[in-house]
Amino acid sequence: MAARRAVNQSRRLPDSASIPLVSSLHPKSRSTPLLSVGLVLLGAFLLIGYSYSSSGGLASDKEAIHKGEGASCTSEVHRAIPFLKKAYGQTMRKVLHVGPDTCAVVSTLLKEDDTEAWGVEPYDLEDADSSCKRLIRKGFVRSADIKFSLPYRPKSFSVVIVSDALDYLSPKYLNKTLPDLARVSSDGLVIFAGYPGQQRAKVLELAKFGKPVKLRSSSWWIRYFVQTGLQENEAATKKFEQAASKSSYKPSCQIFHLVS
């Protein structure tokens, strides 16, 4: 809405006042620069409008995620759990998962020995099934907007795993959310992100809802981590990759291991 109003104003500016007056005084010489100033302004407003709509549009993604359940990086988390256990060993004892379908991830993790698990659902939990409702009632799962600080004390969890959530945030929000995920973990932060160009039913579904998910390349992510001062957890990365290659496990998502 804001964008539309701004555009109208910028149109009115050259049309109603300046151009007729100026061009009648200086038939050719002055009207062109003014017109281009008007066009530049119009362009600027359009750009501002676009960046607003692309940074704040989580509401429509919410629905898309629920409708498009199926192949996702959250399902990759289930497959990666045995390898994560090898990589993190003893430290994988208090785990927080952040992402859609977190109830399923928490249930899977709770079945592991010596693992406590909690979940944050970044979208909504309205259509939770009965076992999910039980997890919510017991306080294991809650919904929270990950654009804001998570309601946990520093180092509340040993390992924090996030999937299908950061791909929907613009760098502006990533700048707040990623350090906050690192804040609540003590032994590591594991990020599951989609590969760019990944052709999935879900991605197509999202495109239908207006704003497609931003799938970033691994070089984009690595540059971003360096920029924001987040370090790769080299030991965990190495152990994870060794365990994965031993079992010929090839994740269908990018997996990054960061130091908390």
The residues of the shown chain that bind ligand NAG, judged by CB under 6 A, are 171-172, 175, 227-228
- Which residue's beta carbon is nearest to the bound ligand NAG? 175
How far apart (Å, rounded) are the C-alpha atoms in residues 5 and 180?
35
Beta bridge partners of 159: 95, 188
Toward ligand NAG, which CB reaches closer, 156 or 175?
A: 175
C-beta of residue 48 within 8 angstroms of C-beta of residue 3: yes
Give the shortest CB-172-to-ligand NAG separation in angstroms.
4
Half-sphere exposure for 125 (CA within 13 Å, toward CB): 22
Toward ligand NAG, which CB reaches closer, 55 or 115?
A: 55
Give the shortest CB-207-to-ligand NAG separation in angstroms.
24
Q: Which residue has the tokens 């192949």?
A: 71
Toward ligand NAG, which CB reaches closer, 150 or 174?
A: 174
DSSP string, 203-245: HHHHHHTSS------HHHHHHHHHHTTPPB-HHHHHHHHHHHH
Toward ligand NAG, which CB reaches closer, 228 or 245?
A: 228
